[in-house]
Structure 1
Amino acid sequence: MTGPTDRLPREDVTTVEIPRVPDDPTPEPAEETPTPRSGFWRELSGALAAGLLVLAIVVLTIQVVDQAQGMPGPGVLVVIAHFLCAAAALALQRQADRRRGPQAGLMILLIGVVTGIAVWFFWWA
């Protein structure tokens, strides 16, 4: 009779050696894959696009708070225009991140133009 700690006898199984790796393997030359580079202008345009989105959210918050207090606030058209500019800048930035060369440069330039329009018409003028 076997107890809870006793095991039934089993046949011996031969073990197989695992092949060893040499101590100093010679490294194979790795393929050099081009790493994606992001430049200053692409990063700046991304910051401008993200900044426009934050600015649109701030303008919306100001509009809601002012309406709750009975004041006119910046206006619904200004809020909509801020969100349209932010959406345009984010869409352009998405395209700029996926393209290279002159196409990406044009997208980055257009982000600067959209940002300039938003700042000029809604903050400076």
Structure 2
Amino acid sequence: MGRSRALRRGPYRRGIRLLRGFSGVLAGGLVALSVTLLVAGIVGQQRDVPGPGVVAIAGHAVAAVVAVLMQRRADRAAGSARAAGAALGVVALTAVVLGAQWLV
């Protein structure tokens, strides 16, 4: 019986683990935000009040899917440089989405 993949990878530095954890929280936050916007859009249409538009909902949903895929890549990356790159990609994507959709 061979060793598990987790044992073969070697130890990650503490900073990489913290970065991956932080990016995981951000990816989960984007998912929660996109679901919240979807519910707000549905409720807004049912009650005939203004709510988030289709473009905003779709943009957040696409960003959430991309963030989850990038986070999955960060969690499963063999090297710490690849894991850090994918995790930083999640952080950057979150900053772009929040900046473009909420600050403008």
Give the TM-score normalised by structure 1: 0.69
The alignment partner of 1:39 has SS state of helix
- 1:44 is aligned to 22
Greater RCO structure (CA 8 Å; 6+ sep):
2
Q: Give the alignment of 1:5-84 within 5 angstroms.
A: 39-84=17-62
- 1:72 Cα offset (Å): 3.0
Larger of the two Rg values belongs to structure: 1
- 1:36 Cα offset (Å): 6.3
Give the TM-score normalised by structure 2: 0.82
- 2:69 is aligned to 91
Cα distance in 1 between the residues matched to 2:38 and 2:64: 13
Cα distance in 1 between the residues matched to 2:64 and 2:96: 11
Cα distance in 2 between the residues matched to 1:87 and 1:36: 28
- 1:39 Cα offset (Å): 1.3
Match of 2:86, as an amino acid? M
Question: For the aligned residues, what is the CA RMSD?
Answer: 1.7
- Structure 1: which 4+ aligned runs deviate by more than 6 Å? none
Cα distance in 2 between the residues matched to 1:94 and 1:39: 13
Cα distance in 2 between the residues matched to 1:36 and 1:52: 29
Name stretches of at least 5 consecutive residues in structure 1 with no aligned partner: 1-32
Percentage of identical aligned residues = 31
User: CA separation of 1:36/1:56 partners in 2, compared to 1, >3 Å: closer, same or farther?
Assistant: farther
